[in-house]
Amino acid sequence: MKQNTFRRNFYYSLGFLFIFITNAFAQSSDKMDWWKDAKFGMFMHWGLYSQTAGYWKGHVAKGNEHFMIHEKISLKEYATIADDFNPVNYDAEKWVLTAKNAGMKYIIITSKHHDGFAMFDSPSNDYNIKERTPYAKDPMAELVAACHKHDMKFGFYYSLGRDWEDPDVATDWPFKGGRSNLVDYPDEDIKVYSRYFERKVKPQIKELLTQYGKIDVIWFDTPELISPEESKELRELILELQPECIINSRIKHGFGDYKVTEQEIVDGLEVEPWEACITMGKNWGYIEYDTIYKSSELMTRQLLEIVSKGGNLLLNNGPTAKGEITDLAQERLADMGGWIKQNSEGIYGSKPWEVQGERLADTPKENGKVKFSEEKNTMKDNEHDGTSKVIFPEVRFTSKDGAVYAYVCSVTDKDVVIKALALENGDKIKSITRLNTTDKVKWKQTKTGLTIKMPVYTATEIPITGFKIELK
C-alpha cells in the first residue's frame, strides 16, 4: 500500500514537473513568437556623433561615430558637441511610418552609445539630451509613443561594456585599454566594472523600462568585462520590470534570448533564433560624406537570404543631427517597402525550407569570377562590412503553412530552372502562383528541375519574384 502511494505520488510529482517545464518553455516560446515572425527591423544609431557628421576640427575624423577615442578627445571637449545638438526637424511619427511602410516590424535605437551620452531623460545621470542640449526634451518618449500608436514593436540599444563618460569602464579588446577612454581615465588597473554597473547601468536600465510603458527588446552591445553574475542579475532585473521583454545575446554569458551577427550573414541554416545587424551605407551613425548605399535590390536579397536561414534582418540607418532620416535611406526603404508589400506572404511568419538557396545556372562570369554590377550596386568594400556585395541569379526558399515559397532573384533569362524542385527529389508540385497577382504562371516539373517562365521587369522594379508552390 505504501509502495503504491509512493509510486502514485511520484508520478503526480513527475506530472506536475512536466507541466511546469512545458508551461515555462511555452511562456518563453510565446514571448519570442512575434520576433520570430517579424523578420525585418530598423536599427537607428543617433547621438552626439551625428552632430559632427564625420568631421572634427575641419578634417575627416578617424573612427567615424567612434571618433572620440580615435581622435583622443577629452570628455570635457567632446561634451561641448551637445551645446549645438538640437534636432528641430525630429518627427517621431514620420520615423515610425517610414519603417512601417518599408515592411519593418520593430525599431531598435541607441539609448546610450559608447560615448556614454544618454539620448533619453536619465534622472540618474545628467549627461543626457534633456539636460545638456538646447533641445531639452526626451525624444525617446515620442518615439515609443509613436511605435505604440502604429503597432510597431520597440527596443532600446544600450552600450553595456563601453562608456567613455564613466571612470570605471576598462576594455581588453583588441588589447588592454583598446576601446577605453585613456585621455581622462588612463589607468586601466584601477577601474572596477561593478562600480559602473551599480552606478550607471542598473539605474539607466530601470529608467528605460519604467518611463515609457511597454518595451519589447533590450539590445545590448559590447558587453566587454561584465561578469556572469552581473549578466544574470541584469537579466533578472529586466524581466522583473518587464517579463515579456526580449534580450539579445550581447548581455553575454548565455543569458540572451537570441544571437546577433554584425555585418555578416551566417553560412547556413541556424536552428536557434538569430539576427543580422547590417548597415545601409558604410557607417552606423550619420556621416555626411557616406553617400554610397547598398542598392535596394542587394538589401532585399540580403533580407531573403537571412530569412531563408531562419534569421531576422536589423537594417541600420543613421539619422542626422537635425532628426531626419537621409534621403538616400528613405529612397531605399521606400523601394524595399513597395516590393515587400507585393511579396511578403512567404516572409513574415515563415520558416526555413529543407533547402535555403540555390545559385542559378546563368550566373554571369567575367574572367572566371562572378560579374559585379556597378550600376545596380555601387557599394564599395568596407573593412567593417563582411556581407557580399555581388549580385547574381539565385533562388531563396522559405516555407509556411505547408507551402514552399521560391524567391527568384536577379535573373535576366526568360526561363529559370530550379534543381531543388526536381521530381527526382521527391516533391511533386500541385500548383504555382506568383505572389500578389492572378496572372497564370507557366511552369513544368521534370526529373531534373522545375522550369518557370519569368516576368519582364521595368527599369525601376526590384528584379525579384516570389512564387508560392503547393506540393501534392
| pLDDT tens per residue, range 63-77 | 999 999 999 999 999
Average pLDDT, the chain: 91
> CA 184, CA 51: separation in Å to the nearest integer?
22
Q: What is the pLDDT, as a whole number, of residue 362? A: 54
Architecture category of domain 351-364+376-471 in CATH = Sandwich (2.60)
Q: What is the pLDDT, as a whole number, of residue 361? A: 72
pLDDT category of residue 180 using cuts at 50, 70 and 90: very high
Contact of 354 with 309, CB cutoff 8 Å:
no
One-letter identity of residue 468: K
Q: What is the pLDDT, as a whole number, of residue 29? A: 56
Tens-digit pLDDT profile for residues 100-116: 999 999 999 999 999 99
Tens-digit pLDDT profile for residues 208-236: 999 999 999 999 999 999 999 999 999 99
- Please name the residues in contact with 315: beta carbons below 8 A apart, sequence gap of 6 or more: 40, 41, 42, 43, 104, 278, 280, 299, 303
**Residue linked to cell 546563368:** 362
Query: pTM for the whole thing?
Result: 0.91
* DSSP labels, 70-104: HTT--HHHHHGGGGG---TT--HHHHHHHHHHTT-
On the question of pLDDT at 201 being above 50, the answer is yes
> CA 251, CA 261: separation in Å to the nearest integer?
14
Number of helices and strands in the chain (H, E): 12, 20
> CA 312, CA 278: separation in Å to the nearest integer?
11
Instruction: Output the nine-digit C-alpha cell for 204.
Output: 539607466
Contact of 399 with 405, CB cutoff 8 Å:
yes
CATH tag for 31-257 (out of 3.20.20.80, 3.90.1150.10, 3.90.1300.10, 3.20.20.70): 3.20.20.80
- Please name the residues in contact with 231: beta carbons below 8 A apart, sequence gap of 6 or more: 223, 251, 252, 253, 255
> CA 286, CA 326: separation in Å to the nearest integer?
9
* DSSP labels, 139-169: HHHHHHHHHHHTT-EEEEEEE-S--TTSTT-
Domain boundaries, given as residue ranges, for the chain: 31-257, 351-364+376-471
Nearest alpha carbon to residue 49 among 113, 135, 97 = 113
Instruction: Output the nine-digit C-alpha cell for 203.
Output: 539605474
Q: Is the peptide bond before 174 cis (omega within 30 degrees of 0)?
A: yes
CA 170 to chain centroid, in Å, comes to: 27
Q: What is the pLDDT, as a whole number, of residue 377? A: 39
Please state, for a pLDDT cut of 90, what percent of the chain lies above it. Answer: 88
Q: What is the pLDDT, as a whole number, of residue 10? A: 36
Contact of 464 with 408, CB cutoff 8 Å:
yes
Contact of 92 with 139, CB cutoff 8 Å:
yes
Q: How far is CA 307 from CA 346, 411, 459, in A?
A: 10, 20, 26
Instruction: Output the nine-digit C-alpha cell for 187.
Output: 589607468
Q: What is the CA radius of gyration of the chain?
A: 25
> CA 302, CA 278: separation in Å to the nearest integer?
9
Tens-digit pLDDT profile for residues 388-431: 999 999 999 999 999 999 999 999 999 999 999 999 999 999 99
> CA 383, CA 364: separation in Å to the nearest integer?
26
- Please name the residues in contact with 419: beta carbons below 8 A apart, sequence gap of 6 or more: 358, 448, 449
Tens-digit pLDDT profile for residues 297-339: 999 999 999 999 999 999 999 999 999 999 999 999 999 999 9
Q: Tell me whether strands 106-112 and 394-400 are parallel, antiparallel or unpaired.
A: unpaired
> CA 99, CA 105: separation in Å to the nearest integer?
8
Burial of 318-350, coded b for 16+ CB within 10 Å and e otherwise, reads bbbbebbbbeebbebbebbbbbbebbbbbbbbb
Contact of 217 with 245, CB cutoff 8 Å:
yes
- 121-135, 192-206, 380-394, 444-458: segment of lowest average pLDDT: 380-394
Tens-digit pLDDT profile for residues 116-169: 999 999 999 999 999 999 999 999 999 999 999 999 999 999 999 999 999 999
Higher pLDDT, 361 or 441: 441
> CA 454, CA 191: separation in Å to the nearest integer?
62
- Please name the residues in contact with 258: beta carbons below 8 A apart, sequence gap of 6 or more: 32, 35, 246, 248, 249, 272, 273, 274, 275
